[in-house]
């Protein structure tokens, strides 16, 4: 038997989104009329008032077959109407095919989703390894809000990639080897000049090292940083200390270990609150041992050049629109730079994971740095992985400038999270949702609601955009907010509890009775498309949009129907099935956003 284009398409893919499924059906109709099946591509309607889906293939067909588009569309529609998949298939002049699904077909798709263990996340990863580089905090400095976006966007992208079947590994890429450590060492050496770790003859096994704690570190670093900006000599000292640390000065290495011992649990604590975790806690320091190899490769490929005592690599390419500066590999004093470390890290990742992709979730202001790093890595053939810069914009205050504390300083992440939690608590108390709850319970709900508000308020914006941090708005029970989504889940929980329906019960039957159900069902069916776009664009805002659509369609459905009191058993069952699936889908979205839900609020 000869395999037709359609049957070949059918055999190839396991998991399909709705538009892919419909695309196959429409392609078959095009083929049945003697046209190329490729014309059958289906997309989500941009006129929701007219139809749910559309196919614009008749226009290309018109050119190919020299026929008016509405004639082709008409022939295709005639075939489609023989199918009970569509409630409506019609031609809209001059040749659009407008499609609306039949209730039976929608019900069938709903049960397919509810049986699907991936809950319609398209399985496109195929086990390929991607390293997601996100978080990127600098040890010795307390986490500040500048690190919020990388952490939460990166975590979501990683979760989505995992859910799509990638072997995604998160690497925090600590800034643990740079000037900030030199600054801390310098400041401490002034305060505690007699400590053995500052002596030239420090002996690791024998001598003890100064003991630090988080409070001390968070006081020392900003001060040292300020001093270095005002005092050239101080700055030179810090640079020297950094250099000596990187060259293995024993006392400094011991002190560095102490800084790491104190910093890392503190970082973990903050990331835990955000539901962010990393498979690897490598730092810039771990890349240090690959710098020699990097230099050798660059030499061997004749890429290294001397320039004013430094070692550089030229990066210009023929079709560059604007000039791109060479990348510096070694400064004239032989020290390494941020770029050196990033290149060495690529060598390390290639050795450890041989990834097919490395995704960097970093502030857009670092784009040039990554353009340079990627070009150099490519010239040197450091990896076959596709390197991607996934930049994010700035979190601004209401004045449109980068968010600051009231006093004008940079806010600590911990303080921001606690502010959100307290605001959530006030709000929940005022609304008396939790009047019977214990203090402890209220506290835990407030923490989750506060964090959800911050995360959703951030993630709803396309990562590349700046946005305005507005806690009141983020905590609102209405609109595209984390609070609204969590609240919707608690509403469903309460229906299920009142009807004694187990959360994990298998939906027994899908049947649609009204438009608000059709609307909700459609939004659920479209999740797969949104997940697909989110992954393709590496942009979690698509997941936020999707879950908001589902939650607001649910609210309408809930508002229109008295689910709990419904007398018709079959109807009630169908409604409860829809509640169960809605809940499952919302929780799936939240999981991909790394947002915890609450039972009650």
Residue ranges in contact with ligand ARG by CB under 6 A: 133, 136, 138, 173, 175, 342, 360, 362
Count of beta carbons in the 10 Å neighbourhood of residue 181: 28
> Which residue's CB is nearer to ligand ARG, number 105 or number 370?
370
CB of 361 to ligand ARG, least distance (A): 8
Please report the DSSP string for 472-533 in residue order. Answer: HHHT-SSSS-HHHHHHHHHHHHHHHHHTT--TTPPP------SHHHHHHHHHHHTHHHHHHH
> Which residue's CB is nearer to ligand ARG, number 85 or number 362?
362
In whole angstroms, what is the distance from residue 303 CA to residue 284 CA? 23
CB of 284 to ligand ARG, least distance (A): 8
CB of 172 to ligand ARG, least distance (A): 9
CB of 280 to ligand ARG, least distance (A): 12
> Which residue's CB is nearer to ligand ARG, number 340 or number 552?
340
> Which residue's CB is nearer to ligand ARG, number 362 or number 539?
362
In whole angstroms, what is the distance from residue 187 CA to residue 403 CA? 28
> Which residue's CB is nearer to ligand ARG, number 89 or number 183?
183
In whole angstroms, what is the distance from residue 461 CA to residue 463 CA? 6
CB of 370 to ligand ARG, least distance (A): 8
Instruction: Give Cβ neighbours of residue 347 (< 8 Å, ≥ 6 apart).
Output: 287, 290, 293, 294, 297, 382, 383
In whole angstroms, what is the distance from residue 531 CA to residue 537 CA? 10
Classify residue 230 by burial, with Cβ atoms within 10 Å: 0-12, 13-18, 19+. exposed
CB of 360 to ligand ARG, least distance (A): 6
H/E stretch holding 192 reads none
CB of 149 to ligand ARG, least distance (A): 11
Contact 519, 509 (CB under 8 A): no
> Which residue's CB is nearer to ligand ARG, number 374 or number 474?
374
> Which residue's CB is nearer to ligand ARG, number 367 or number 470?
367
> Which residue's CB is nearer to ligand ARG, number 252 or number 360?
360
CB of 136 to ligand ARG, least distance (A): 3
Contact 187, 227 (CB under 8 A): yes
3-state secondary structure (DSSP) of residue 392:
strand
Q: Which two tokens stand for residue 86?
A: 């569509």
Give the CB-nearest residue to ligand ARG.
Answer: 136
In whole angstroms, what is the distance from residue 522 CA to residue 103 CA? 10
CB of 425 to ligand ARG, least distance (A): 31
Query: What percent of the residues of the chain are helix, what percent strand, and what percent coil, each to the nearest 5?
Result: 55, 10, 35
Instruction: Give Cβ neighbours of residue 296 (< 8 Å, ≥ 6 apart).
Output: none
Q: Given the structure tokens 């190329």, which residue do they identify?
A: 36
Q: What is the CA radius of gyration of the chain?
A: 29
> CA of 267: how far to CAs of 67, 321, 328, 411, in Å?
65, 41, 31, 15
> Which residue's CB is nearer to ligand ARG, number 175 or number 355?
175
Count of beta carbons in the 10 Å neighbourhood of residue 247: 11
Please report the DSSP string for 417-466 in residue order. Answer: HHHHHHHHHHHHHHHTTTTTS-HHHHHHHHHHHHHHHHHHHHHTS-TTS-
In whole angstroms, what is the distance from residue 154 CA to residue 124 CA? 19
> Which residue's CB is nearer to ligand ARG, number 75 or number 342?
342
CB of 262 to ligand ARG, least distance (A): 18
Q: Is the peptide bond before 95 cis (omega within 30 degrees of 0)?
A: no
In whole angstroms, what is the distance from residue 581 CA to residue 244 CA? 60
Q: Which two tokens stand for residue 47?
A: 């006129």
> Which residue's CB is nearer to ligand ARG, number 180 or number 488?
180
Contact 157, 361 (CB under 8 A): yes
CB of 246 to ligand ARG, least distance (A): 16
CB of 563 to ligand ARG, least distance (A): 48
Q: Which two tokens stand for residue 68?
A: 């008016």
> Which residue's CB is nearer to ligand ARG, number 394 or number 516?
394
> Which residue's CB is nearer to ligand ARG, number 198 or number 370?
370
Residues shown for the chain: 601
CB of 358 to ligand ARG, least distance (A): 9
């Amino acid at each position: 038997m000869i395999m037709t284009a359609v049957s070949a398409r059918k055999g190839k893919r396991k998991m399909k989104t709705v538009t892919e499924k419909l695309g196959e059906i429409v392609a078959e109709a095009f083929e049945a009329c003697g046209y190329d099946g490729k014309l059958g591509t289906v997309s989500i309607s941009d006129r929701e008032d007219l139809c749910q889906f559309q196919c614009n293939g008749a226009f290309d067909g018109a050119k190919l077959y020299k026929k008016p588009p509405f004639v082709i569309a008409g022939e295709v529609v005639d075939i489609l109407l023989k199918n009970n998949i569509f409630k409506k298939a019609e031609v809209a002049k001059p040749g659009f095919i407008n499609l609306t699904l039949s209730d039976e077909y929608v019900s069938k798709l709903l049960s397919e989703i509810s049986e699907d263990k991936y809950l319609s996340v398209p399985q496109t990863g195929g086990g390929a390894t991607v390293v997601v580089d996100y978080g990127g905090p600098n040890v010795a400095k307390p986490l500040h809000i500048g690190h919020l976006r990388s952490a939460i966007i990166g975590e979501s992208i990683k979760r989505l990639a995992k859910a799509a079947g990638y072997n995604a590994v998160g690497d925090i890429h600590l800034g643990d080897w740079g000037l900030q450590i030199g600054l801390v060492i310098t400041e401490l050496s002034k305060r505690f000049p007699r400590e053995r770790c500052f002596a030239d003859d420090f002996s690791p096994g024998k001598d003890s090292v100064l003991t630090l704690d988080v409070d001390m570190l968070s006081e020392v670093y900003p001060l040292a940083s300020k001093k270095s900006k005002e005092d050239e000599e101080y700055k030179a000292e810090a640079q020297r200390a950094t250099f000596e640390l990187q060259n293995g000065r024993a006392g400094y290495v011991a002190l560095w270990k102490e800084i790491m011992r104190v910093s890392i649990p503190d970082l973990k604590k903050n990331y835990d609150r955000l539901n962010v975790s990393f498979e690897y806690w490598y730092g810039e320091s771990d890349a240090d041992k690959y710098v020699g190899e990097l230099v050798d490769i660059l030499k061997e490929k004749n890429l290294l050049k001397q320039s004013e005592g430094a070692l550089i690599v030229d990066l210009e390419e023929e079709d560059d629109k604007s000039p791109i500066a060479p990348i510096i590999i070694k400064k004239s004093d032989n020290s390494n730079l941020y770029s050196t470390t990033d290149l060495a890290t690529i060598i390390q990742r290639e050795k450890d994971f041989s990834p097919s992709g490395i995704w960097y979730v970093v502030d857009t202001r670092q784009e040039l740095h990554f353009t340079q790093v990627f070009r150099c890595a490519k010239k040197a053939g450091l990896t076959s992985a596709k390197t991607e810069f996934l930049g994010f914009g700035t979190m601004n205050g209401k004045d449109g400038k980068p968010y600051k504390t009231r006093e004008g300083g940079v806010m600590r992440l911990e303080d921001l999270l606690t502010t959100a939690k307290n605001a959530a608590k006030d709000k929940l108390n005022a609304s008396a949702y939790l009047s019977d709850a214990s203090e402890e319970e209220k506290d835990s709900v407030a923490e989750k609601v506060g964090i959800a508000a911050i995360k959703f308020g951030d993630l709803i914006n396309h990562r590349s955009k700046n946005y305005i941090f507005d806690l009141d708005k983020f905590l609102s029970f209405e609109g595209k907010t984390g609070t609204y989504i969590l609240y919707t889940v608690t509403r469903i929980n309460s229906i299920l509890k009142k009807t004694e329906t187990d959360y994990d019960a298998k939906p027994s039957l899908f049947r649609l009775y009204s438009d608000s159900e059709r609307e909700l069902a459609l939004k659920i069916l479209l999740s797969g498309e949104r997940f697909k776009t989110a992954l393709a664009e590496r942009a979690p805002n698509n997941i936020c949009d999707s879950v908001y659509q589902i939650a607001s369609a649910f609210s309408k459905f809930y508002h229109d129907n008295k689910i709990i009191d419904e007398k018709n058993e079959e109807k009630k069952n169908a409604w409860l099935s829809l509640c169960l699936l809605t809940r499952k889908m919302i929780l799936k979205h939240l999981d991909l956003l790394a947002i915890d839900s609450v039972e009650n609020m």
